[in-house]
Structure 1
Amino acid sequence: MQRRAWLVALAGASALAGCGFQLRRAPELPFKTLHLSGFKPTSPMGVALRRALAGAPTTRLVEGRAQAEAIFEVLGDADEKSVVAYTSSAQVRELQLRSRLVFQLQSASGRELIGRTEIVQSRDMSYKERDALAKEQEEQLLFRAMQDDIALQVVRRLAAIKP
């Protein structure tokens, strides 16, 4: 039985290797140093972007603009919550959560690499007063997931730049 399992696993691995399947690698950015500008010190979006960029093997984050080959400038970073639906007794039934990042990227010489760009993620969330504490935690998890998603989108856009 074990021999059959090994043969099936080996056949599956060879089929995947033969079709060109590869695990996703960390994106290689076209610059060696990057400066993040405009994030508030406690910005969750800034934390998510730094975490996403830490996986890029060829690029490191620097503190000063002078050492950077590229400057990522944040023009806006906001989390928003709005009521989408009410019950007949005017209680909140559904919320829409939005996370928004507006940015641009410039080279050290000031040449625009990515113009003003806005990335918005939104999620809908049901709401019940009696589950307020649980819904607050769900809201925080949804915001964090949206911020992580936006950070990964930014990294993919940075990787697509042709200097």
Structure 2
Amino acid sequence: MTQQELQQLVEQISLEYFKRPFRHRVVINHRFKTTGGRYHLADHHLEFNPAFLTAELRTDLIGIVKHELTHYHLHLLHRGYRHQDRDFKVLLQQVGGSRFALDVGNRRPQAKKFHYICTNCGQQYHRVKRIDTRRYRCGVCSGILKITTKM
């Protein structure tokens, strides 16, 4: 799906479900990893994750578009547009938008750099960040942790 087609889809959904026109621009943001979409308060444009623009994720894309349009229309009407606001929750429920985006597997796995072992029971722990072994103990037996490898 191109940016032009996405713009037309957003305008169509806005008229169909919100009975209001969408008069700003839609952008495809290739830097998104876990976010489905974003509404910008300053200039009112919408950004979407290109991973959701495939045909098999079309229903998820429509749910994300409804979610972002809920932010958009409530903000322009000077009503509660944030996730915790009652106006937002009610309108999102009415239009059938999705509350969360589907995980499409774009996250980069973090390397487990530090390997710890319990000196008492032998339980092993793999961690991304270094931990203070004077402060933290084994979760199984409360034994002392010893760093074995720093990769």
With normalisation by structure 1, the TM-score equals 0.28
Structure having the higher strand fraction is 1
With normalisation by structure 2, the TM-score equals 0.29
Larger relative contact order, structure 1 or 2 (CA cutoff 8 Å, min sep 6): 1
Bigger radius of gyration: 2
